[in-house]
Copies of this chain bind each other. A is one copy, B any other.
């Protein structure tokens, strides 16, 4: 990339939907960004075109052999400005994912410039209702047409945009989770800490099992012992134990969430004690039983913070904090989202204009 971005204008624009009534990730804006990689020229032909279908080979490497990684972040409306939250973190992680899957890295600065140019063109698509935002999906996939287990020679980098209300339900509505001890999401030495397409497909059966048993999300245990807490659904997990905030330490199979990282920094700034440690499910269970664990919540870009009100651990149901959002979750959620929407001072330099 690095070159000027070619822009191909659309003949007509779509009607903007009522964002409060659309499902997450189903409506896309008028334009998308794309760039193509060849071993000879690297990333080139950065282009903004109307959002449209792609013409892809039935032997597409990413469909057959799965070289495909993505990112997820959001743009927020603040008066006439569009704000981004730590976008450099997303493109850094995209590069870590790309490396893990033997894919060529992108230039992080060029990617942010491209994103900002796209957002300028699409600024009317950033919704301004409460909790609303424009979800940004950068992704890279292998597009060489061949069958064989080796890295693709060619790739595409795209950014598409989708206006969203919130990931699901109202903000801070408590969710229910099922502790999964049969299926495994990821294991150290694997690709759990990459945002790779294959990880998500691998998680669906456990998700369905949890749903069938009456729970909304899966709590994943580690792949080696199936005893240590890792993540909840597609979020990192936090809990409050004796007033301190605890989250599982990064171990190679947990995805390094940007919300996780930012929540830790914000909580420490606000005077909480935060501990990153290996958490055995039975120690966790004891804390739930004896009341030392007073709150549990997930953290991720989509919902920011998602309180957990009900948990199935070893086939027994436990209610956390009367199935209500806890004080710590509420405190962090409010502060965090106020920073994201530019309504509270940002002492961390997290927020930038698009």
Contact = CB atoms under 8 A, between A and B. Distances in A.
A66 B102 contact: no
Contact of A202 (B158, B190, B203, B208): B190
A141 to B, nearest CB: 5
19 contacts: A53-B55, A54-B55, A54-B58, A59-B160, A62-B197, A63-B68, A64-B68, A66-B196, A66-B198, A66-B201, A67-B201, A68-B201, A147-B162, A182-B189, A184-B190, A187-B223, A191-B202, A198-B201, A223-B224
Given A151-B204, A187-B187, 17 more contacts: A25-B148, A53-B55, A54-B56, A55-B55, A55-B56, A65-B201, A66-B68, A66-B200, A135-B147, A147-B162, A149-B200, A184-B187, A187-B223, A196-B201, A197-B197, A198-B201, A198-B202
Contacts of A62: 63, 197, 201
A52 B145 CA distance: 11
Given A102-B204, A197-B62, A53 B56 contact: yes
A57 B63 CA distance: 13
A215 interface: no
A318 interface: no
How many copies of the chain does the oligomer comprise?
2
Interface in A39-96: 51-59, 62-68, 70, 72
Contact of A200 (B32, B65, B146, B184): B65
7 tightest CB-CB pairs across the interface, nearest first? A198-B198, A25-B147, A184-B189, A66-B197, A66-B201, A102-B204, A65-B200
Contacts of A72: 147
Interface residues of A, number: 69
Contacts of A65: 197, 200-201
Interface string A171-196: 00000000000111111111100001
Contacts of A100: 205
B55 A149 contact: no
Interface string A94-121: 0000011110000000000000000000
A286 B319 CA distance: 54
Contacts of A197: 62-66, 197-198, 201
A199 B198 contact: yes
A34 to B, nearest CB: 8
Interface centre among A101, A187, A224 (most CB of B within 10 A): A187
Interface in A133-150: 135, 137, 139, 141, 145-150
Contacts of A66: 66, 68, 196-202
A137 B64 contact: yes
A63 B32 CA distance: 16
B53 A223 contact: no
A147 to B, nearest CB: 3
